[in-house]
Amino acid sequence: MYAFFDVDGTLLSLKSMFSFQEFYYRWESRAEGLGEERWREFRSRFSAWEREGRDRLFLNREFYRSFQGRTPQAVRAAAEAWFTLERQQPGLMIAPSLQALKAHQAQGHVPVFVSGSLTEILEPLARELGVEHCLATRLVVRQGRYTGELEGGQVIGQGKADVIHGFLGSRGASAAECFAYGDHHTDVPMLEAVGHPVAVIGDPQLAEYAQRKRWAVLAA
């Protein structure tokens, strides 16, 4: 039996993509002292797209185009340093969801991350929590560097349900027996993909939907 967990807002109290991106600019540019400037430029560009009303698919795709030219090795090294730093901050983990994950593990259930964040960014968290499977964003690598293009579909919205169905299908597992945890209304397809959806309440739109559906809920 599997328990699928969204990460940002469900297990982590921060947005891993943006938290890591800010750290990476500073980490990569520490010798030149340009990290803060590069982060501000990136955030300003991204904020402009948000004000224009660009959808999450567009924003996610453009976010990862900024990874063009980086190496997976450098990103993994930065992710280790980033997580080590963030791990020291109180409140990083959302306690009710973390307790649920550990309870599933105690019952012999297999937890799985499902996230639009990058697989390499989530690896330190997965290792710490004993999560073997990570259904997250992967980027195309050519000649040892990211191209900035996504490998496969996006793991947000309906994409989360799609990767869950593919994962379960490859293992001959029943979705009806599985659990899923998500905190945002865009997680609804993922939650509806399993027999035991759990809404981690924080988003009013998801809370209203969960109440109508009589889903189990956790307070974030």
Please say if the pLDDT value at position 37 is more than 90. no
User: pLDDT band at 189, cuts 50/70/90?
Assistant: very high
Helix (H, G, I), strand (E, B) or coil at 70: coil
Please state whether beta strands 110-118 and 216-219 pair in parallel, antiparallel, or not at all (unpaired): unpaired
Please say if the pLDDT value at position 74 is more than 60. yes
Q: Looking at residue 33, what is its pLDDT?
A: 66
Helix (H, G, I), strand (E, B) or coil at 200: strand
Please say if the pLDDT value at position 170 is more than 70. yes
Distance CA 191, CA 52 (A): 29
Residues 6 or more apart whose CB falls under 8 angstroms from that of 33 comprise none
Distance CA 61, CA 217 (A): 31
Q: Looking at residue 32, what is its pLDDT?
A: 66
Range of the domain at 145: 2-219
Please say if the pLDDT value at position 148 is more than 90. yes
User: pLDDT band at 78, cuts 50/70/90?
Assistant: very high
- SS3 annotation, 85-151: HHCCCCCCECHHHHHHHHHHHHCCCEEEEEEEEEHHHHHHHHHHHCCCEEEEECEEEECCEEEEEEC
Amino acid at 122: L
Please say if the pLDDT value at position 31 is more than 60. no
The mean per-residue pLDDT over the stretch 12-34 comes to 86
Q: Looking at residue 27, what is its pLDDT?
A: 86
Q: Looking at residue 160, what is its pLDDT?
A: 98
**Residue among 184, 88, 183, 79 nearest 125 (CA):** 79
Token pair for 21: 């991106």
The mean per-residue pLDDT over the stretch 4-17 comes to 97
CB atoms within 10 A of CB 90: 6
Please say if the pLDDT value at position 193 is more than 80. yes
What tens digit of pLDDT does each residue of 86-136 get?
A: 999 999 999 999 999 999 999 999 999 999 999 999 999 999 999 999 999
Please say if the pLDDT value at position 29 is more than 90. no
Distance CA 146, CA 52 (A): 28
Please say if the pLDDT value at position 167 is more than 80. yes
Token pair for 200: 């981690």
CATH for 211: 3.40.50.1000
The mean pLDDT value of the chain amounts to: 95
The mean per-residue pLDDT over the stretch 184-194 comes to 97
Distances (CA, A) of 189 to 145, 192, 199, 206: 33, 5, 12, 11
State how many domains the chain has: 1
Please say if the pLDDT value at position 51 is more than 90. yes
